[in-house]
Amino acid sequence: MVLYFSGTGNSRFAAQAIARICQDELVSINKLMRQRVLDPYNTPYEFSSDSPFVVVCPTYCYHLPLVVESFLKDSRFVGSQEMYFFLTCGSGTGKAYDHAAQICREIGMRFMGLASAKMPENFITLFRAPEPDDAVGIVRASLTQAESASKQIMAGRMLTDVNAGIAVPEPFLRLFYRFFVHDRLFTVKENCTGCGVCAALCPTVNIRMKDGVPTWGGNCTQCQSCIAICPNDAIEFGRRTRKKRRYYLYSDGRQKFPSEQKTDNDP
Protein backbone atom coordinates (compact mmCIF):
# COMPACT_ATOMS: atom_id res chain seq x y z
CA MET A 1 0.00 0.00 0.00
CA VAL A 2 1.38 3.38 -1.06
CA LEU A 3 0.41 6.22 1.31
CA TYR A 4 1.26 9.74 0.21
CA PHE A 5 1.18 13.26 1.56
CA SER A 6 1.66 16.10 -0.90
CA GLY A 7 1.32 19.89 -0.82
CA THR A 8 1.88 20.79 -4.45
CA GLY A 9 1.72 17.47 -6.28
CA ASN A 10 5.36 16.33 -6.48
CA SER A 11 5.03 13.53 -3.94
CA ARG A 12 1.66 12.50 -5.36
CA PHE A 13 3.33 12.18 -8.79
CA ALA A 14 6.07 9.98 -7.30
CA ALA A 15 3.53 7.93 -5.34
CA GLN A 16 1.43 7.37 -8.45
CA ALA A 17 4.51 6.08 -10.29
CA ILE A 18 5.48 3.72 -7.44
CA ALA A 19 1.91 2.41 -7.06
CA ARG A 20 1.67 1.87 -10.83
CA ILE A 21 4.95 -0.04 -11.04
CA CYS A 22 4.36 -2.08 -7.87
CA GLN A 23 0.70 -2.55 -8.87
CA ASP A 24 -0.31 -1.52 -5.40
CA GLU A 25 -3.08 0.49 -3.81
CA LEU A 26 -2.67 4.30 -3.59
CA VAL A 27 -3.96 6.14 -0.52
CA SER A 28 -3.98 9.92 0.00
CA ILE A 29 -2.95 11.00 3.50
CA ASN A 30 -4.19 14.51 2.61
CA LYS A 31 -7.72 13.21 2.07
CA LEU A 32 -7.69 11.19 5.31
CA MET A 33 -6.35 14.11 7.31
CA ARG A 34 -9.12 16.33 5.97
CA GLN A 35 -11.76 13.68 6.64
CA ARG A 36 -10.54 13.24 10.20
CA VAL A 37 -10.90 16.96 10.96
CA LEU A 38 -14.36 17.05 9.40
CA ASP A 39 -15.57 13.71 10.84
CA PRO A 40 -13.18 12.61 13.64
CA TYR A 41 -15.25 9.65 14.91
CA ASN A 42 -15.65 8.01 11.51
CA THR A 43 -12.11 8.31 10.19
CA PRO A 44 -9.97 5.59 11.75
CA TYR A 45 -6.40 5.53 10.53
CA GLU A 46 -6.32 1.74 10.01
CA PHE A 47 -4.54 0.19 7.08
CA SER A 48 -4.35 -3.41 6.03
CA SER A 49 -1.96 -4.66 3.37
CA ASP A 50 -0.10 -7.87 2.56
CA SER A 51 2.47 -5.92 0.57
CA PRO A 52 4.84 -3.52 2.39
CA PHE A 53 3.66 -0.03 3.29
CA VAL A 54 5.36 2.71 1.27
CA VAL A 55 5.17 6.26 2.63
CA VAL A 56 5.76 9.01 0.06
CA CYS A 57 6.03 12.65 1.13
CA PRO A 58 8.05 15.86 0.71
CA THR A 59 11.12 16.76 2.75
CA TYR A 60 10.56 19.57 5.26
CA CYS A 61 13.68 21.01 6.87
CA TYR A 62 15.63 17.86 5.99
CA HIS A 63 13.17 15.66 7.90
CA LEU A 64 9.79 14.10 7.24
CA PRO A 65 7.01 16.70 7.65
CA LEU A 66 5.83 16.60 11.26
CA VAL A 67 2.22 16.16 10.06
CA VAL A 68 3.30 12.90 8.42
CA GLU A 69 5.06 11.80 11.61
CA SER A 70 1.86 12.48 13.60
CA PHE A 71 -0.24 10.67 11.02
CA LEU A 72 1.96 7.56 11.19
CA LYS A 73 1.98 7.57 14.99
CA ASP A 74 -1.83 7.80 15.02
CA SER A 75 -2.22 4.92 12.54
CA ARG A 76 -2.58 1.17 12.94
CA PHE A 77 -0.99 -1.07 10.34
CA VAL A 78 -2.19 -4.63 9.83
CA GLY A 79 -0.69 -7.36 7.59
CA SER A 80 2.79 -6.47 6.42
CA GLN A 81 5.01 -5.05 9.15
CA GLU A 82 7.51 -3.57 6.66
CA MET A 83 7.61 0.15 5.88
CA TYR A 84 9.50 1.92 3.09
CA PHE A 85 9.89 5.65 2.57
CA PHE A 86 10.26 7.67 -0.61
CA LEU A 87 10.85 11.40 -0.18
CA THR A 88 10.75 14.16 -2.75
CA CYS A 89 12.97 17.16 -2.10
CA GLY A 90 14.26 20.37 -3.64
CA SER A 91 17.90 19.62 -2.88
CA GLY A 92 18.44 16.89 -0.26
CA THR A 93 16.83 14.80 2.46
CA GLY A 94 19.39 15.38 5.26
CA LYS A 95 18.27 13.57 8.38
CA ALA A 96 15.06 12.15 6.93
CA TYR A 97 16.53 8.62 6.80
CA ASP A 98 17.21 8.63 10.56
CA HIS A 99 13.89 10.35 11.24
CA ALA A 100 11.95 7.67 9.32
CA ALA A 101 13.89 4.90 11.09
CA GLN A 102 13.07 6.47 14.46
CA ILE A 103 9.35 6.69 13.61
CA CYS A 104 9.34 3.01 12.61
CA ARG A 105 10.94 2.06 15.92
CA GLU A 106 8.27 4.02 17.79
CA ILE A 107 5.32 2.53 15.89
CA GLY A 108 6.70 -1.01 15.83
CA MET A 109 7.22 -1.31 12.06
CA ARG A 110 10.28 -2.75 10.35
CA PHE A 111 12.17 0.11 8.66
CA MET A 112 13.00 -0.88 5.08
CA GLY A 113 14.98 2.25 4.20
CA LEU A 114 14.42 5.48 2.35
CA ALA A 115 15.01 6.65 -1.20
CA SER A 116 14.47 10.10 -2.65
CA ALA A 117 14.12 12.12 -5.80
CA LYS A 118 14.89 15.76 -6.47
CA MET A 119 11.78 17.52 -7.67
CA PRO A 120 10.96 21.18 -8.32
CA GLU A 121 11.34 23.39 -5.25
CA ASN A 122 7.85 24.34 -4.05
CA PHE A 123 8.76 26.35 -0.94
CA ILE A 124 8.00 29.76 -2.46
CA THR A 125 7.21 31.44 0.86
CA LEU A 126 10.99 31.27 1.38
CA PHE A 127 12.68 30.33 -1.89
CA ARG A 128 11.90 30.31 -5.62
CA ALA A 129 10.35 27.65 -7.82
CA PRO A 130 12.29 26.76 -10.99
CA GLU A 131 11.29 28.04 -14.42
CA PRO A 132 8.53 25.93 -16.02
CA ASP A 133 10.80 24.32 -18.63
CA ASP A 134 13.39 23.40 -16.00
CA ALA A 135 10.63 22.01 -13.78
CA VAL A 136 9.41 19.73 -16.58
CA GLY A 137 12.91 18.27 -16.91
CA ILE A 138 13.30 17.79 -13.14
CA VAL A 139 9.93 16.02 -12.89
CA ARG A 140 10.79 13.75 -15.80
CA ALA A 141 14.19 12.87 -14.32
CA SER A 142 12.60 12.01 -10.96
CA LEU A 143 10.87 9.04 -12.54
CA THR A 144 14.19 7.19 -12.72
CA GLN A 145 14.46 7.27 -8.90
CA ALA A 146 10.83 6.25 -8.46
CA GLU A 147 11.32 3.33 -10.86
CA SER A 148 14.51 2.18 -9.22
CA ALA A 149 12.99 2.38 -5.72
CA SER A 150 9.93 0.44 -6.93
CA LYS A 151 12.13 -2.37 -8.22
CA GLN A 152 13.94 -2.57 -4.88
CA ILE A 153 10.61 -2.61 -3.02
CA MET A 154 9.26 -5.40 -5.22
CA ALA A 155 12.45 -7.38 -4.60
CA GLY A 156 12.11 -6.87 -0.83
CA ARG A 157 15.46 -5.05 -0.60
CA MET A 158 16.34 -2.15 1.71
CA LEU A 159 16.40 1.35 0.20
CA THR A 160 19.51 3.41 0.83
CA ASP A 161 19.25 7.13 0.14
CA VAL A 162 22.09 8.47 -1.92
CA ASN A 163 20.89 12.06 -1.77
CA ALA A 164 21.67 12.96 1.82
CA GLY A 165 22.17 16.75 1.87
CA ILE A 166 22.41 18.74 5.12
CA ALA A 167 22.15 16.97 8.50
CA VAL A 168 20.09 19.57 10.37
CA PRO A 169 20.35 19.21 14.17
CA GLU A 170 17.20 18.79 16.28
CA PRO A 171 17.13 22.33 17.81
CA PHE A 172 17.27 23.85 14.32
CA LEU A 173 14.22 21.82 13.33
CA ARG A 174 12.28 23.27 16.26
CA LEU A 175 13.37 26.80 15.30
CA PHE A 176 12.37 26.16 11.71
CA TYR A 177 8.84 25.19 12.74
CA ARG A 178 8.61 28.13 15.13
CA PHE A 179 9.70 30.80 12.67
CA PHE A 180 8.72 29.48 9.25
CA VAL A 181 5.78 27.12 9.70
CA HIS A 182 2.88 29.46 10.38
CA ASP A 183 0.12 31.23 8.49
CA ARG A 184 0.42 34.71 9.98
CA LEU A 185 1.64 36.37 6.78
CA PHE A 186 -1.01 35.05 4.37
CA THR A 187 -3.04 37.80 2.72
CA VAL A 188 -5.56 37.85 -0.10
CA LYS A 189 -5.52 40.34 -2.95
CA GLU A 190 -8.52 42.02 -4.58
CA ASN A 191 -8.51 39.60 -7.50
CA CYS A 192 -9.66 36.75 -5.21
CA THR A 193 -12.96 35.49 -6.62
CA GLY A 194 -13.88 33.54 -3.49
CA CYS A 195 -13.82 30.25 -5.43
CA GLY A 196 -12.72 28.35 -2.29
CA VAL A 197 -10.23 26.07 -4.06
CA CYS A 198 -7.59 26.92 -1.44
CA ALA A 199 -9.92 25.91 1.39
CA ALA A 200 -11.02 22.72 -0.39
CA LEU A 201 -7.42 21.57 -0.80
CA CYS A 202 -5.89 22.50 2.57
CA PRO A 203 -4.86 19.19 4.19
CA THR A 204 -5.29 20.49 7.73
CA VAL A 205 -8.64 22.21 6.97
CA ASN A 206 -6.99 25.38 8.22
CA ILE A 207 -8.68 27.67 5.68
CA ARG A 208 -12.31 28.71 6.10
CA MET A 209 -14.22 30.97 3.73
CA LYS A 210 -15.64 33.97 5.56
CA ASP A 211 -17.81 36.33 3.48
CA GLY A 212 -16.26 34.80 0.37
CA VAL A 213 -12.68 35.39 1.49
CA PRO A 214 -10.23 32.72 2.75
CA THR A 215 -9.04 33.08 6.34
CA TRP A 216 -6.29 31.02 7.95
CA GLY A 217 -6.89 29.46 11.37
CA GLY A 218 -3.42 28.98 12.88
CA ASN A 219 -2.90 25.29 12.06
CA CYS A 220 -0.78 25.64 8.93
CA THR A 221 1.92 23.19 7.89
CA GLN A 222 3.28 25.41 5.09
CA CYS A 223 2.58 22.80 2.45
CA GLN A 224 2.13 25.63 -0.12
CA SER A 225 -1.01 24.12 -1.64
CA CYS A 226 -3.22 27.19 -1.12
CA ILE A 227 -0.81 29.74 -2.55
CA ALA A 228 0.14 27.41 -5.40
CA ILE A 229 -3.32 26.28 -6.52
CA CYS A 230 -5.08 29.68 -6.45
CA PRO A 231 -6.34 30.16 -10.05
CA ASN A 232 -5.77 33.93 -9.85
CA ASP A 233 -2.50 33.94 -7.87
CA ALA A 234 -4.44 36.07 -5.37
CA ILE A 235 -2.71 34.73 -2.24
CA GLU A 236 0.53 36.26 -0.95
CA PHE A 237 2.75 35.47 2.03
CA GLY A 238 3.81 38.91 3.21
CA ARG A 239 6.26 40.46 0.76
CA ARG A 240 8.13 37.20 0.30
CA THR A 241 5.97 35.84 -2.53
CA ARG A 242 5.36 39.01 -4.53
CA LYS A 243 5.98 38.49 -8.25
CA LYS A 244 7.18 34.94 -7.60
CA ARG A 245 6.09 32.11 -9.86
CA ARG A 246 3.73 29.58 -8.24
CA TYR A 247 4.46 25.89 -8.72
CA TYR A 248 1.87 23.11 -8.74
CA LEU A 249 1.87 19.68 -10.42
CA TYR A 250 -1.56 18.24 -11.25
CA SER A 251 -2.31 14.56 -10.84
CA ASP A 252 -2.06 14.08 -14.62
CA GLY A 253 1.58 15.26 -14.47
CA ARG A 254 0.95 18.69 -16.00
CA GLN A 255 2.17 21.88 -14.35
CA LYS A 256 -0.09 24.77 -13.45
CA PHE A 257 0.76 27.84 -15.44
CA PRO A 258 0.09 31.40 -14.23
CA SER A 259 -3.57 32.33 -13.90
CA GLU A 260 -4.78 28.97 -15.17
CA GLN A 261 -8.40 28.41 -14.17
CA LYS A 262 -8.07 24.67 -13.60
CA THR A 263 -8.61 23.38 -10.07
CA ASP A 264 -7.63 20.12 -8.40
CA ASN A 265 -10.19 17.98 -6.66
CA ASP A 266 -7.88 15.06 -6.18
CA PRO A 267 -5.44 15.99 -3.37
Ligand X SMILES: Cc1cc2nc3c(=O)[nH]c(=O)nc-3n(C[C@H](O)[C@H](O)[C@H](O)COP(=O)(O)O)c2cc1C
CB of 116 to ligand X, least distance (A): 9
Q: How many CB atoms lie within 10 A of CB 130?
A: 17
Q: Kindly tell me which of 49 and 142 has the beta carbon lying closer to ligand X.
A: 142
The reply on whether position 132 binds ligand X by CB under 6 A is no
The reply on whether position 91 binds ligand X by CB under 6 A is yes
- What is the C-alpha to C-alpha distance for residues 112 and 240, in angstroms, rounded to an integer? 39
Q: Kindly tell me which of 59 and 241 has the beta carbon lying closer to ligand X.
A: 59
CB of 122 to ligand X, least distance (A): 4
Binds ligand X by CB under 6 A, chosen from 53, 62, 84, 86? 62
Q: Kindly tell me which of 49 and 222 has the beta carbon lying closer to ligand X.
A: 222
- What is the C-alpha to C-alpha distance for residues 119 and 138, in angstroms, rounded to an integer? 6
The reply on whether position 119 binds ligand X by CB under 6 A is yes
The reply on whether position 142 binds ligand X by CB under 6 A is no
Rounded to whole angstroms, the maximal C-alpha distance in the chain is 54
Binds ligand X by CB under 6 A, chosen from 49, 59, 145, 206? 59
The reply on whether position 10 binds ligand X by CB under 6 A is yes
CB 108 within 8 A of CB 180: no
- What is the C-alpha to C-alpha distance for residues 89 and 235, in angstroms, rounded to an integer? 24
Q: 106 vs 110, 146, 204, 255, CA distance in Å? A: 10, 26, 24, 37
- Identify residue 98 by its one-letter amino acid code: D
Stretch that binds ligand X, among 105-113, 119-127, 146-154, 197-205 (CB under 6 A): 119-127
The reply on whether position 121 binds ligand X by CB under 6 A is yes
CB 62 within 8 A of CB 37: no
Handedness of CA 156, 158, 162, 163 (dihedral sign): positive
State the residues that interact with ligand X by CB under 6 A. 6-11, 58-62, 88-92, 119, 121-123, 222-224
